[in-house]
Amino acid sequence: MSHISEILPAHHKHCDELFAAAEEAAQSGDWVACGEQSGRFVHDMLAHFDAEESLLFPAFESATGMSGGPTQIMRMEHGQMRELLVQLESALRAKDEETFAGVAETLLIMMQQHNMKEENILYPMCDQALGAQVERLAGELNTRLEQA
Amino acid sequence: MHPNLSFEQAPPISVPYRFFLTAPWFGVTAGLLLAWLGPDALESRWSPGALALSHLLTVGFMLQVMCGALLQFIPVATGGNVWRPRWVASLVHPIVAIAALCLAFGFALSQPLLIQIAVPLFAAGLGGFIAVVSFSLLRTPAHGMTIHVLRLALFGLAVTLILGIALASALGWQADGQASWSLVLISNVHAAWGLGAWALMLVIGVSYLVVPMFQLTPSYPAWLTRTVPFGILVAIGLWSLQLGVDGELVQSWLSVVALGGMLLAGLYAGTTLWLQALRRRRLTDITFVFWRGAMLALLGFVASWIALEVFPVLGEHPRAAIWLGMLALPGVFVSVISGMLYKIVPFLNWLHLQRLGGLKVLPPNIKQMLAEKPMRRQMRLHFASLVLLLGAVLWPPLTSLAGLSFAVSFLWLEWNLVGAVRRYIDFRSRALSDQVIDQTHADASSRVS
């Protein structure tokens, strides 16, 4: 694994798995399991955002000089998802199944359309723009996400 | 690099919504027309009623939603810049809507003048739309099969439009208005491009993204994502050669080519159902059921087509084509589109509201924008209408009931969508007036201090 477009999409899938497990637990009213799964999900999502914002985006911005374009939008969407994660945790604490389901549905579409943009457009652009740095950076991202 | 890539060119919400809110009215009209015309409309695909109904659904309902959805989807999913989307929408939307009405009522009332009006409107409105959208799809820096398949679909739409204009010109300006043999051939090819190379192609391209996205299914196998769309396009292209080449050898190959295309469509539907069965998200939502219904209808279409080829006694029956039309239009396309509208509209509401900035109250979540229960009930009525429509092909006395049920189903779809849009407008005006009050309050405080 040596490209951004291999490492990060795999982590998206990993977060999807955690999301599906948390949502399923909430739907069956198992709030203990939902708490565990949601905890892992929120933690790994935040780690993913942090890794991108502190390692990948700055590298992309300095390699291309594009600081107001794609990465700015991705940061904004991270902010929107962070807000939804907060709402998800509050629905979890209140054991409010209906709100949890509504926020989860909103978060899922938000996440998926965000991932689609990253996987189809941004990551391939990163691989192209970062040149020789790609392998090192992909390794760092991988380590960061594994340790999180 | 790509200086034009801003990543965030989602058009104003009014761009897609004007198409989405107009579209169901064409379905309502189709249902009422069918109820009014009764069994005669389904006697053969060449009856004025059948031509009107099929075009109300295709260039009316389907084309409206597909145009609106592409203007939204291309910038967001492919990073392609659509040139002045607000302008394009405000021209294309009314022109194509009026053209569709003229065409359908030109058929229904056998009025060549209406068809003559529809021809230049379609040429300008749809031709312009194809040009603008193709330009943005050719320039997008994004990767992935969806982009290629969308390009193929736009090509399919262009060919459909050209053949449609040729047919409508012949009908509109031909003194006796009778379809000649060559017009029948051109109609068949026009329908194949419209349904296969445009509408199904668009569904296929979009499904590569949305099927895995909404239900967390595995991705479509890479070989299939290439083979199915290109194979279908090649099959339709070869099948179209019948327009220029004659002779028995060609005739005997036509069925083989058509069978190849049909099997690819069946393979696609089967694969989609299989992927959905492997979904990681166990939650069964409305969009998922609509998709599953559509894919079963597509399998039913392919199986019916094969059965009609194998048993020519059935295949030569004038209602055979109507049966296929019911499976394709209400069965496959209306189902998929309804499911997608129910997913897209609440999300766009939410997305646009939470970007207003400075909100004191959180925007309603997706499920609060459009509740599950009315969607589910409307979906049941849609599938019940489909069964009635298929029943009416076999037993004509059912026709008017089927038409009414179909009309009510579309009316309900419209009602549900309007409800979601009203919730958007209410929240937006409340949020904006709060901001104004805040601002006034802040100004007043600063004056006092």
| DSSP codes joined into one string, B123-165 | HHHHHHHHHHHHHHHHH----SHHHHHHHHHHHHHHHHHHHHH
Neighbours of A124 (CB within 10 A): 18
C-alpha B86/C-alpha B71 separation (Å) is 9
> Does the pLDDT value for residue B443 go beyond 60?
no
**B4 pLDDT band (50/70/90 cuts)?**
very low
Closest Cβ opposite residue B366 in set A19, A106, A120: A106
How does pLDDT run across B148-173, given as a tens digit for each residue? 999 999 999 999 999 999 999 988 88
Residues of B with CB below 8 A from A73's CB?
Answer: 6-8
Is A99 in Cβ contact with B1 (below 8 Å)? no
Residue B356: predicted pLDDT: 79
Closest Cβ opposite residue A102 in set B77, B143, B365: B365
pLDDT average, residue stretch B239-253: 79
Residues of B with CB below 8 A from A109's CB?
Answer: 213-214, 343, 347, 366
Give a yes or no: residue B173 inside a domain. yes
Q: Mutual orientation of helices B286-310 and B335-354 as an angle, nearest 10°?
A: 160
C-alpha B93/C-alpha B100 separation (Å) is 11
pLDDT average, residue stretch B99-115: 96
Closest Cβ opposite residue B367 in set A101, A110, A129: A101
Give a yes or no: residue B4 inside a domain. no
Closest Cβ opposite residue B142 in set A109, A120, A129: A120
Residue B438: predicted pLDDT: 61
Residues of A with CB below 8 A from B78's CB?
Answer: 120-121
Is A17 in Cβ contact with B141 (below 8 Å)? no
Residue A49: predicted pLDDT: 96
Residue B76: predicted pLDDT: 78
> Does the pLDDT value for residue B292 go beyond 80?
yes
pLDDT average, residue stretch B226-246: 92
How does pLDDT run across B125-141, given as a tens digit for each residue? 999 999 999 999 988 87
Of the residues A16, A66, A120, A125, the best mutation for testing chain B's interface (the one with the most B CB atoms within 10 Å of its CB) is A120
Q: Which residues of chain B approach chain A closer than 8 Å at the C-beta?
A: 1-2, 5-8, 76-79, 141-144, 146, 209, 213-214, 216, 280-283, 285, 343, 347, 350-351, 354, 362, 364-368
Of the residues A18, A96, A105, A125, the best mutation for testing chain B's interface (the one with the most B CB atoms within 10 Å of its CB) is A105
Of the residues B216, B285, B355, the best mutation for testing chain A's interface (the one with the most A CB atoms within 10 Å of its CB) is B216
The phi, psi pair for B175, rounded to 5°, reads -55, -50
Residue B303: predicted pLDDT: 98
What distance in Å separates residue A145's CA from the closest CA in chain B?
A: 21
Averaged pLDDT score across all residues of chain B:
91
Number of domains within chain B: 1
Please give the DSSP secondary-structure letter assigned to residue A133: G
Who has greater pLDDT, A64 or B399? B399
Residue A81's Cβ-count burial label (10 Å; 0-12, 13-18, 19+) is buried
Residues of A with CB below 8 A from B348's CB?
Answer: none
Closest CA in chain A for residue B357: A80
Give a yes or no: residue B449 inside a domain. no
Is B6 in Cβ contact with A99 (below 8 Å)? no
10-residue stretch averages of pLDDT, chain A, 148 residues long:
84 94 92 95 96 94 85 90 94 93 93 88 89 88 88
C-alpha B106/C-alpha B92 separation (Å) is 20
Give a yes or no: residue B2 inside a domain. no
Is A113 in Cβ contact with B76 (below 8 Å)? yes
Helix (H) or strand (E) holding A100, with range, is helix A97-117
Of the residues B8, B76, B372, the best mutation for testing chain A's interface (the one with the most A CB atoms within 10 Å of its CB) is B8
What distance in Å separates residue B91's CA from the closest CA in chain A?
A: 28
Residue B67: predicted pLDDT: 97
Q: How many CB pairs under 8 A join A and B?
A: 89
How does pLDDT run across B320-347, given as a tens digit for each residue? 999 999 999 999 999 999 999 999 999 9
**B449 pLDDT band (50/70/90 cuts)?**
very low
Q: In sequence order, which ranges of A28-96 are alpha helices (DSSP H)?
A: 31-51, 57-64, 70-93
Displacement of CA B402 from its chain's centroid (Å): 21
At residue B276, the 3 state secondary structure works out as helix
> Does the pLDDT value for residue B175 go beyond 70?
no
**Are residues B78 and A120 in contact, defined by beta-carbon separation less than 8 angstroms?**
yes
* The length of chain B, given as a count of residues: 449
Residue B437: predicted pLDDT: 61
Residues of A with CB below 8 A from B343's CB?
Answer: 109
Residue B177 is part of a domain; what is its CATH number? 1.20.210.10
Neighbours of B15 (CB within 10 A): 21
C-alpha A121/C-alpha B144 separation (Å) is 9
How does pLDDT run across B190-229, given as a tens digit for each residue? 999 999 999 999 999 999 999 998 889 999 999 999 999 9
What distance in Å separates residue A120's CA from the closest CA in chain B?
A: 5
Helix (H) or strand (E) holding B364, with range, is none
Of the residues B5, B7, B137, B353, the best mutation for testing chain A's interface (the one with the most A CB atoms within 10 Å of its CB) is B7
Please give the DSSP secondary-structure letter assigned to residue B317: S
**B33 pLDDT band (50/70/90 cuts)?**
very high
Please give the DSSP secondary-structure letter assigned to residue B13: T
What distance in Å separates residue A121's CA from the closest CA in chain B?
A: 5
**B3 pLDDT band (50/70/90 cuts)?**
very low
Helix, strand, coil percentages (3-state) for chain B, rounded to 5, are 85, 0, 15
Give a yes or no: residue B161 inside a domain. yes
Is B6 in Cβ contact with A69 (below 8 Å)? yes
C-alpha B103/C-alpha B118 separation (Å) is 6
> Does the pLDDT value for residue B414 go beyond 90?
yes
pLDDT average, residue stretch B341-361: 86
Closest Cβ opposite residue A102 in set B8, B76, B367: B367
Closest listed residue to residue B299, CA positions, set B340, B336, B330, B268: B268
Is A66 in Cβ contact with B216 (below 8 Å)? no
For residue B93, the enclosing domain spans 14-437
**B5 pLDDT band (50/70/90 cuts)?**
very low
> Does the pLDDT value for residue B2 go beyond 70?
no
Is B79 in Cβ contact with A112 (below 8 Å)? no
**Are residues B160 and B233 in contact, defined by beta-carbon separation less than 8 angstroms?**
no
Closest listed residue to residue A98, CA positions, set B372, B424, B213: B372
Query: Tokens 């200086």 identify what position?
Result: B3
C-alpha A80/C-alpha B363 separation (Å) is 12
> Maximum distance among all alpha carbons in chain A?
50
> Does the pLDDT value for residue B247 go beyond 70?
no
Query: Tokens 């492997």 identify what position?
Result: B278
At residue B244, the 3 state secondary structure works out as coil
Report the complex ipTM: 0.84
C-alpha B321/C-alpha B262 separation (Å) is 15
CATH number of A4-147: 1.20.120.520
Give a yes or no: residue B442 inside a domain. no
Residue A132's Cβ-count burial label (10 Å; 0-12, 13-18, 19+) is exposed
Closest CA in chain A for residue B346: A106
Give a yes or no: residue B128 inside a domain. yes
**Are residues B27 and B407 in contact, defined by beta-carbon separation less than 8 angstroms?**
yes
Residue B334: predicted pLDDT: 98
